Structure 1
Amino acid sequence: MVLGSVLNPINSSMLAVALIPIGRAFGAPPSQTAWLVSGLYLATAVGQPVIGRLVDAFGPRRLYLVGTALVGVAGLVGVLAPDLWVLVVSRVLLGFGTSAAYPASMSLLRTESERTGLKSPSGILATLSASSQVISVVGPTLGGVLIGVGGWHLIFGINVPLSAACLVLGARRLPRTPKGERSDAGTDVPGMVLFAASLTAFMLFLMGPGLAHAYLVLIGLAAGALFVRRERGAPAPFLDLRVLGGNGPLLATYARQLLAYTTAYVFLYGYAQWLQEGRGLGASAAGLLLLPMSLAALAVTVLTGRRPQVRGKLAVGAVLQLVGCASLLFLGADSPVWLLVLVGVVFGVPQGLNGLANQNALYAQADPARMGASAGLLRTFTYLGALLAAAANAAFFQDGATTAGLHDLAWLLVAVAALFLVVSLADRSLRRVGREA
């Protein structure tokens, strides 16, 4: 479960230090290489809840194996890509392939929880969260090492052995779903298609906002309206909007996830690019400078992971996230290395707290029968944040990852982090999460 769940964050984070080398290899500016980020996240944002619903209907093992096999195929496509846009296709395939493992894992945990009577397996949830969080921040360092050893192609090629390991372990260890528990009655294919069409249209508009692309907003609104009408009348909807709409705490968790990861991914990609262009470092050096962030996230997760309470984690994470965003305003081309390391550490702490807290909150708030879809939707909001981050980086770094562009990004991040702080402190329902475990 852990190995499959880290496939997405490792592919997300390794690319942070590869955007500049890939752009140079294909003669593409940051506004084009941003599609390598948005392509994966668009596919993941659509794929996570869709595949999560399929997990609920057909069981986790089958979807896990199909998804991780697709990861290996995507890795080969990336290694052999002759141009940037084939590389984007590889990232889209990676997005769909890596969408299966996390909802499958959450579904398996819920099944085991019902079997054993353990309401909140906080230790295992912490392990899943820790692995994803740590891989997210170790990824840039790993990516820098791979680029230094054999070029940017290796960050795609590494998916082949990872996929093979997932297939072997998944086939041997994951339990089969009994035939009597499989059902296609709740798959709601029309609802899935309308959901995907609406989300895709809106995200494509965000990647190129302007009057010329206003038709995408109209398509998104039309598909969204049809989706709502379909789901409200379907006997077994893809997303039960009545239940979801009445679950205010779960909706608040999704909102926090969106805000937290918009900030996290703007920093991850924007800061990594600025270190290379604005600060003049190589890809390997930039990756190493992001390593303290991973160590901070790991330490925080280890120290707090087994505590199911979430409100305190979110409060501390929100404050430090706001401090980290403000600190970017003080960076320049001559900033000392110790300051660059300190900024990474400050950002690492909320990365170790916010994702873990939201995951524990979702486990307590979601309908057990729809745990796969609910978990997938949490990841959807994660990658909606990543898509917003990619759009922001593309907009503010149109002329390269300059210090002026970084400072403009910092003001945006301060506003988003402040909103995250308000939303976290205002949610009184979080006081109850973890107390019944």
Structure 2
Amino acid sequence: MKKNRALFLTAVASGTMLNPLNSSMIALALHSIQKDFHLSFSTVSWLISSFYLASAVAQPVTGKIGDIFGRKKTFLTGLILVALSALGAPLASTFLMLLIMRLFQSIGSSAIYPSGMALIRDHIKDRQASALAVLSIFASAMVALGPTIGGFLIVLGNWPAIFWVNFPFIILSFLLGWYMFPKDIKQDKSHMKELFSHLDFLGIGFFAAGMVFFLWFLLSFEEKIHYL
């Protein structure tokens, strides 16, 4: 049982750490990306802003989607999205393509966290607090170590390396999750419709659009605010 518990936690932790890891590594890669794509700093900084904005929108939404379609499916789908971004970002020929891959990375890694928390809550009853503490430790460690890891990777393989580094964690989390996570309970259609009705898609859209335009407004200032 202890072995199963350790493998279960490893599957969840190696997946949930992807969001804080990728949010912190990108800072050191901005200069290289800016130089390769010939961008201004305000433009390249959208790689950071869009990641946090997508995470803010995606985490509560994907948490509810996990309730509807199942936590295991949502967790593994999030890993697949991060894998697609890790594969597509280094091959991006334009900044727009790179930004889209970054959004995939953000949405995928944001889907993993609430699903992972729910999986632990539902299937680990013994010393549950310590299990949740493991996730917090992993997340905090990745935020702290992300810039250092990113610096080494950029020296070794330039900015694409900060995307490639995701693959070992994705593979480990996916394989362990596939075998260790119990199958999702199939929901009946009426219950799924009821859960879907609780999602405020219009409000989500207005919030996302408002934040995008607000960030766009702030990033449009070159030096300072001109009142007149």
Output the TM-score relative to the length of structure 1.
0.45
Matched, 1:127 2:138: no
Matched, 1:142 2:149: yes
Q: What is the letter of the counterpart of residue 177 of structure 2?
A: G
How high is the sequence identity, in percent, across the aligned residues? 34
Give the aligned partner of residue 6 of structure 2: none
1:204 to 193, 208, 212: 212
Matched, 1:6 2:55: no
Distance 1:98 1:168 in 2: 16
Give the aligned partner of residue 184 of structure 1: 192
Q: Is the Cα–Cα contact under 8 Å of residues 5 and 102 in structure 1 kept in the other structure?
A: yes
1:16 to 27, 41, 59: 27
Distance 1:187 1:180 in 2: 10
Give the aligned partner of residue 106 of structure 1: 117
Matched, 1:193 2:191: no
Q: Is the Cα–Cα contact under 8 Å of residues 62 and 110 in structure 2 kept in the other structure?
A: yes
Question: What displacement does 1:102 show?
Answer: 1.1
Alignment of 1:408-419 (within 5 A): none
Distance 1:31 1:190 in 2: 37
The alignment partner of 2:193 has SS state of coil
Q: Which runs of at least 4 in structure 1 moved beyond 4 Å after TM superposition?
A: 180-183
Question: What displacement does 1:204 show?
Answer: 0.9
- Residue by residue over 1:29-82, the C-alpha shift from the partner in whole angstroms, topping out at 9 and shown as x without a partner, is 210011111222222222111110011223210101111011111111101011
Task: Compare CA radii of gyration and give the structure with the larger one.
Answer: 1
Distance 2:209 2:220 in 1: 19
Matched, 1:156 2:163: yes
Output the TM-score relative to the length of structure 2.
0.84
Q: What is the letter of the counterpart of residue 166 of structure 1?
A: S
Matched, 1:96 2:96: no
Give the aligned partner of residue 86 of structure 1: 97
The alignment partner of 2:159 has SS state of coil
Question: What displacement does 1:138 show?
Answer: 0.5
Distance 1:15 1:45 in 2: 18
Q: Is the Cα–Cα contact under 8 Å of residues 75 and 160 in structure 1 kept in the other structure?
A: yes
Higher-RCO chain (CA-CA 8 Å, sequence separation at least 6)? 2
Question: What displacement does 1:163 show?
Answer: 2.3
Q: Is the Cα–Cα contact under 8 Å of residues 57 and 186 in structure 1 kept in the other structure?
A: no
Runs (5+) with no aligned partner, structure 2: 1-11
Q: Is the Cα–Cα contact under 8 Å of residues 64 and 104 in structure 1 kept in the other structure?
A: yes
Change (3 A) 1:199 1:25: same
Matched, 1:56 2:67: yes
Question: What displacement does 1:11 show?
Answer: 0.8
Runs (5+) with no aligned partner, structure 1: 210-390, 400-404, 406-437
Change (3 A) 1:145 1:57: same
Q: What is the letter of the counterpart of residue 17 of structure 1?
A: L
Q: Is the Cα–Cα contact under 8 Å of residues 68 and 187 in structure 2 kept in the other structure?
A: no
Distance 1:82 1:41 in 2: 23
Alignment of 1:193-232 (within 5 A): 193-209=201-217
Q: Is the Cα–Cα contact under 8 Å of residues 56 and 107 in structure 1 kept in the other structure?
A: no
Distance 1:84 1:172 in 2: 38
Alignment of 1:389-400 (within 5 A): 394=219, 398=222
Computed over aligned residues only, the root mean square deviation of the Cα atoms, in angstroms, reads 2.3
Q: What is the letter of the counterpart of residue 180 of structure 2?
A: R
1:175 to 153, 178, 182: 182
Q: Is the Cα–Cα contact under 8 Å of residues 10 and 139 in structure 1 kept in the other structure?
A: yes
Distance 2:188 2:115 in 1: 15
Distance 1:205 1:186 in 2: 32
Q: What is the letter of the counterpart of residue 55 of structure 1?
A: G
Give the aligned partner of residue 47 of structure 1: 58
Distance 1:122 1:190 in 2: 29
Aligned length: 212
Q: What is the letter of the counterpart of residue 127 of structure 1?
A: V
Distance 2:120 2:101 in 1: 30
